[in-house]
Amino acid sequence: MSEMIEIIVDGESYTAEEGSRLIDLLIQEKIKVPYFCYHESLGADGNCRMCMVGIKGQKRPQIACDTFITKDMFVDTKNDTIQKVQTDILELELINHPVDCPVCDQAGECSLQDFYMDYGLHNSKITISEKVKHNKALDLGSNVMLDQERCVLCARCTRFTDKITHTHELGIIGRGDDAKVSTMPGRKLDNAYAMNVVDLCPVGALTSKDFRFSQRVWFLKTAESICHGCSKGCNIYIDHNKLKYKDDVIYRFRPRRNDDVNGFFMCDDGRLSYKELQVNRQENILYKNEELTEDEAIKEFKNKIDKYANNTTIIVDANLYTEEIEAILEFAIEIDAQLISPLKIYEDEDFKDDMLKSSQRAANYQTIKRLNIANSTSTKSDLIINFNHPSEINANEKISFLTHKSDSLELIFPIAAFSESSGTLVSEDGITGKCQKAIDKNNPAPTIIEWLKKVRA
Amino acid sequence: MRDCRLVSRKFDIKNSFKIDIAKEHGAYKTLDKAYALKPLEIVEIIKESNLRGKGGGGASAGDKWALMPQESDKPSFLAVNCDESEPGTFKDRQIISKDPHLLIEGILITCHAIKAKHAYIYIRGEYKQYQDILQTAIDEAYSDGLLRECDITIHRGAGAYICGEKSALLESMEGKRGHPRLKPKQKEPEWFFDNPTLVNNVETIASVPFIVQNGAQAYRDFGTEQSPGTLLFAMSGHVQNPGVYEAEFGTSMMEYINHFGDGVKNGKKLKAVIPGGVSCGVLTADECENLTLDYEALRSIGSSLGTGGMILMDEDTDMVEALKNILEFYHEESCGQCTPCREGTGWSDKIVAKILAKKGTKEDIDKLFDLADVMNGKTICVFAPSVSVVIVSFITKFRDEFEAIL
């Protein structure tokens, strides 16, 4: 680690590591500087030329992404020259941009729009109307659509496939204002992390086929959560919205930066796993395929518990929140039931890779292990109470608390999915993360904790 | 004008590209002397000679050589820049087609000095016929046992102007897109696959045998104090007798044009000269009157010597058309990496087209100056700043022609 030194930015003093990138300090200290091509995960490429700052002793403005902090550095991000440069370069970005914001999915979360509001509001001097025409809707593969006209050629996407996934599907072809992003000849964008380029793209050039045209982003509400696709624990945002007269719906998962877990990214499987939360959901209380009222069901539940006292096994899903698992453990002790959580069923070696995908596809199995819950796959008990575990262990009688529909004809209680409640998860690397409640359904299913309260009342 | 053919000495000898004939006329004579010297001694001689890079920049070759590590775990490389894509410049192709063995000799000496075992010659794709001559010469040198210490490989470019920029050239040689790299903050060699590499122009390397053979002072006897030696100056455009003729730095431009070029074509009056490839600011005939051909003189009047490839324009030349022609080239050739260059070259080209179509306004001319300002000093390489210089020089010096068709 290099020495920490003091530098002056816009007259204010800051402490930074000697030799670190100036732009990192500006981003960290929330000092406004526009940039397209720089990204903490991809390093500096220096092509957009937007992050120009004045450095005392330097004749010309310098790009902050390729400036390394040295002793006695005086930085100016706001003087007239810098502002003119930023405005001028932004105008150049716009000359061939289609400015089709009204039909662009990125509108509302677009760097070009934001920078225009910050640096570009002026009378344009563009007196030529003809723009360079490119392809507006190219299907790159892996749910990624490319609009070459909106592209600012920051090369974040191509650098992602070069430096992060090492799959090299994307490149820039053509020169000058004819340059455009494209897949390599004969190839498609095809890797397990492809959709991250949509997040990386600062403008509306790369959009998700899954999300595009479904919502205006400014209507979306966002909750912080953790992906349940495997035990890696990638931090995510859940973007959702409840339209009038409709139910609260998830429109997308986006990776949320956490340098200890997933950095900036998540896999496409995890990203698209939101869909499973909205289909085939268990909504009603069922007993032998007949609907029951809550009171009837609780009565039935209690009868069975009494009937099979000392003869009950509880199976718990390793994807549940820590709070839920602990509550179930407490309940198991209370009714003197055996508690198991077979983990084998979550193992999926084919899913594993050396980036973010883990073969153990249970988001909270570390908590199961910490609480010493048995990893047994069989039971001699005559009653099984299953808390959303996917395994098919049979017994004389069965009570299930399920998020999704099943073929079972036994007593079934619908429960809230992870997006519909809040809680804690521990990743495979032992990192604890919190999930916020995102979804507020019109007819919410109770959480496991709420059900346990009801059946004990 | 005194004869100062240091590099072009064998150009007029028939079949001098053949090894036997080249050897008859002294090729490879310097090798024994060079191999008897220690690598650093050669670097020192080149430094003393103040040989300046002849690819357009004019930086000290010796300083560049001195950056190459003499002790390193990594192999060192030499990359000879034969991309020669600057319009108006066609000197390197004379060397590789008329005296390729001089280049090979220079490469061998240079590789000895920087301890490189492998040299690459990056040649522009359009030079296929010259490449064939050069390849034959390399094959002859191999058969002759000259390339025991060092391999020479020709790498053919795909025709992008920017690959003449040294870091873009190396990117291209690495098999990537020819994009200039961000410049290092301290002085260091270039890097080819992360190995220290020296990039020099063909003519620079071809000047090395003379200097090593005759000593630094012999080279400094030619030219001026700050621009010593000679350059393969060239003329094209409205000149009676176009071509490449070697002359020493400090030669009077008009004398050169009249002596070698036999004056302006068809006896017309000279209107303007672009001194060293289109990327140098244009000069009016008046400015050329007492001008000498050296780096300092050209810089002092706001232009640059560049590659020494002069483009002459006679009194009938439409300067707006001329600028349009150049801007079209830049528009086509900008690598597209930095925003100011990618969009600025296209935009300025379109504005000049608009002016040419007699639809221009005074604001368009102002905008061209604005654009020149945005393109100047705000990009990774010097492509956009050159465009900027060209635009400013054309419009400032020939403003009446632009305003006449608004």
pLDDT digits (tens, 9 = 90+) for B10-31: 999 999 999 999 999 999 999 9
**Tokens 């050239």 correspond to what residue?**
B169
- A376 in the same domain as A300: yes
By CB neighbour count within 10 A (0-12 exposed, 13-18 middle, 19+ buried), where does B384 fall? buried
Instruction: Indicate the residue among B191, B220, B249 that finishes a domain.
Output: B220
| Of B160, B336, B374, Cβ closest to residue A89 | B374
Chain B residues near residue A52 by CB distance under 8 angstroms? 378
- A271 in the same domain as A293: no
How close A178 comes to chain B (CA, Å)?
8
- Calculate mean pLDDT across residues A141-170: 94
Residues on B contacting A at a C-beta cutoff of 8 Å: 160, 162, 177, 182, 185, 331-347, 350-351, 354, 361, 363-364, 367, 370, 373-374, 377-380
* Residue B35 in this model has a pLDDT that exceeds 80: yes
Between CA B198 and CA A56, with CA B280 as vertex, the angle to 5 degrees is 70
pLDDT the model gives residue B332: 93
Long-range CB contacts (within 8 A, 24+) of A385-388: A385/A312, A385/A313, A385/A314, A385/A315, A385/A337, A386/A314, A386/A315, A387/A314, A387/A315, A387/A316, A387/A317, A387/A320, A387/A324, A387/A328, A387/A415, A387/A448, A388/A317, A388/A319, A388/A320, A388/A415, A388/A448
- Distance, in Å, from the CA atom of B185 to the CA atom of A325, rounded to the nearest integer, reads 56
pLDDT the model gives residue B149: 86
- Distance, in Å, from the CA atom of A370 to the CA atom of A428, rounded to the nearest integer, reads 12
* A174 inside 8 A of chain B by CB: yes
Query: What's the CATH number where B184 sits?
Result: 3.40.50.11540
Chain B residues near residue A82 by CB distance under 8 angstroms? none
- Distance, in Å, from the CA atom of B176 to the CA atom of B168, rounded to the nearest integer, reads 9
* Residue B188 in this model has a pLDDT that exceeds 90: yes
- B399 in the same domain as B287: no
- Backbone torsions φ then ψ of B267, nearest 5 degrees: 65, 15
Which parts of B306-382 fold into alpha helices (H)? 319-333, 339-356, 362-375
* Residue A124 in this model has a pLDDT that exceeds 90: no
Residue B62 maps to a domain: yes
By CB neighbour count within 10 A (0-12 exposed, 13-18 middle, 19+ buried), where does A352 fall? middle
Instruction: Indicate the residue among B273, B296, B314 that finishes a domain.
Output: B314
- B74 in the same domain as B208: yes
- Distance, in Å, from the CA atom of A456 to the CA atom of A333, rounded to the nearest integer, reads 13
By CB neighbour count within 10 A (0-12 exposed, 13-18 middle, 19+ buried), where does B40 fall? middle
- B240 in the same domain as B98: no
pLDDT tens-digit series, residues B112-167: 999 999 999 999 999 999 999 999 999 999 999 999 989 999 999 998 999 999 99
Query: What pLDDT band is residue A1 in, cutting at 50, 70 and 90?
Result: low
pLDDT tens-digit series, residues B60-112: 999 999 999 999 999 999 999 999 999 999 999 999 999 999 999 999 999 99
CB atoms within 10 A of CB B90: 18
- Distance, in Å, from the CA atom of A66 to the CA atom of A54, rounded to the nearest integer, reads 13
By CB neighbour count within 10 A (0-12 exposed, 13-18 middle, 19+ buried), where does B38 fall? exposed
Query: What's the CATH number where B394 sits?
Result: 1.20.1440.230
- B58 in the same domain as B126: yes
Q: In what order do the strands lie in the sheet with B243-248?
A: B243-248, B230-237, B309-314, B270-274, B283-284
- Distance, in Å, from the CA atom of B388 to the CA atom of B60, rounded to the nearest integer, reads 25
Task: Enumerate residues 6+ apart whose C-beta is below 8 A from A212.
Answer: A105, A145
- A291 in the same domain as A267: no
**CA neighbor of A203 nearest in space, from A288, A278, A101, A275:** A101
- A384 in the same domain as A405: yes
Q: How many helices (H) and strands (E) does chain B have?
A: 18, 12
**Hey, what are A280's tokens?**
């085939």
- B375 in the same domain as B285: no
Residue B269 maps to a domain: yes
Residue B13 maps to a domain: no
Residue A197 maps to a domain: yes
pLDDT tens-digit series, residues A331-373: 999 888 889 999 999 999 999 999 999 999 999 999 999 999 8
| Of B343, B354, B378, Cβ closest to residue A177 | B343
Range of the domain at A443: 286-456
**Hey, what are B276's tokens?**
């060293």
- B201 in the same domain as B55: yes
DSSP conformation class of A161: I
pLDDT the model gives residue B178: 92
Residue A119 maps to a domain: no
- B331 in the same domain as B295: no
- B208 in the same domain as B59: yes
How close B362 comes to chain A (CA, Å)?
12
- Identify the residue among B335, B342, B365, B388 best suited for mutation to test binding to A, counting A beta carbons within 10 A and taking the highest: B342
CB atoms within 10 A of CB A355: 16
- B95 in the same domain as B216: yes
- Identify the residue among A37, A83, A177 best suited for mutation to test binding to B, counting B beta carbons within 10 A and taking the highest: A177
- A316 in the same domain as A433: yes
- A301 in the same domain as A274: no
- B210 in the same domain as B171: yes
DSSP conformation class of A119: I
Between CA B392 and CA B398, with CA B394 as vertex, the angle to 5 degrees is 120
- Distance, in Å, from the CA atom of A55 to the CA atom of A75, rounded to the nearest integer, reads 5
How close B167 comes to chain A (CA, Å)?
14
**CA neighbor of B194 nearest in space, from B177, B174, B168, B180:** B174
- B237 in the same domain as B196: no
pLDDT the model gives residue A130: 84
Chain B residues near residue A85 by CB distance under 8 angstroms? 374, 378
Q: Chain B: residue nearest A153 by CA?
A: B337
| Of A95, A130, A172, Cβ closest to residue B177 | A172
pLDDT the model gives residue A311: 87
B201 HSE (CA, 13 A, CB side): 29
pLDDT the model gives residue B236: 95
pLDDT tens-digit series, residues A302-340: 998 888 888 889 999 999 999 999 999 999 998 888 899
- Distance, in Å, from the CA atom of A309 to the CA atom of A300, rounded to the nearest integer, reads 14
pLDDT the model gives residue B5: 92
- A452 in the same domain as A304: yes
The answer to whether B74 and B67 have CB atoms below 8 angstroms apart is: no
Residue A134 maps to a domain: yes
> H/E element holding B173?
helix B166-173
- B182 in the same domain as B88: yes
A176–B160 CB contact, under 8 Å: no
DSSP letters, A19-47, are TSBHHHHHHHTT-----SS-BTTTB----
- Distance, in Å, from the CA atom of B144 to the CA atom of B146, rounded to the nearest integer, reads 6
**Tokens 């010097």 correspond to what residue?**
B382
Range of the domain at B121: 19-220
- Distance, in Å, from the CA atom of B262 to the CA atom of B304, rounded to the nearest integer, reads 24
* Residue A128 in this model has a pLDDT that exceeds 80: no
- A342 in the same domain as A232: no
**Hey, what are B373's tokens?**
């300002």
How close A61 comes to chain B (CA, Å)?
7
- A58 in the same domain as A10: yes
Classify the C-alpha dihedral B195-B196-B201-B207 as positive or negative.
negative
The answer to whether B137 and B19 have CB atoms below 8 angstroms apart is: yes
Number of domains in chain A: 4
- Distance, in Å, from the CA atom of B150 to the CA atom of B154, rounded to the nearest integer, reads 13
Chain A residues near residue B363 by CB distance under 8 angstroms? 125, 127
Q: Chain B: residue nearest A177 by CA?
A: B342
Query: What's the CATH number where B295 sits?
Result: 3.10.20.600
> H/E element holding A17?
strand A12-17
* A179 inside 8 A of chain B by CB: yes
Residue B14 maps to a domain: no
- A339 in the same domain as A196: no
Residue B78 maps to a domain: yes
Residue B5 maps to a domain: no
* Residue A146 in this model has a pLDDT that exceeds 70: yes
- For residues B192-228, one letter each, b for 16 or more C-beta atoms within 10 angstroms of the residue's C-beta and e for the rest, the string is beebbbbbbbbbbbbbbbbbbbeebeebbebbbeebb
Residue B3 maps to a domain: no
Chain A residues near residue B341 by CB distance under 8 angstroms? 176
Number of Cβ pairs < 8 A linking chain A and chain B: 102
B336–A175 CB contact, under 8 Å: yes
How close B367 comes to chain A (CA, Å)?
7
- Calculate mean pLDDT across residues A229-241: 95
Residue B149 maps to a domain: yes
**Hey, what are A322's tokens?**
């820590």
* Residue A409 in this model has a pLDDT that exceeds 80: no
Number of domains in chain B: 3
pLDDT tens-digit series, residues B266-288: 999 999 999 989 999 999 999 99
* Mean pLDDT score of chain B: 94
- A254 in the same domain as A143: no
> H/E element holding B30?
helix B30-36
Query: What's the CATH number where A166 sits?
Result: 3.30.70.20
- Distance, in Å, from the CA atom of B211 to the CA atom of B227, rounded to the nearest integer, reads 15
- For residues B45-69, one letter each, b for 16 or more C-beta atoms within 10 angstroms of the residue's C-beta and e for the rest, the string is bbbbbbbbbbbbbbebbbebbbebe
A60–B363 CB contact, under 8 Å: no
A127–B361 CB contact, under 8 Å: yes
The answer to whether A432 and A424 have CB atoms below 8 angstroms apart is: yes
* A132 inside 8 A of chain B by CB: yes
pLDDT tens-digit series, residues B48-72: 999 999 998 899 999 999 999 999 9
Instruction: Indicate the residue among B202, B220, B238 that finishes a domain.
Output: B220
B335–A92 CB contact, under 8 Å: no
- A303 in the same domain as A409: yes
Long-range CB contacts (within 8 A, 24+) of A3-7: A5/A69, A5/A70, A5/A71, A7/A69, A7/A72, A7/A73, A7/A74, A7/A75
Query: What's the CATH number where A14 sits?
Result: 3.10.20.740
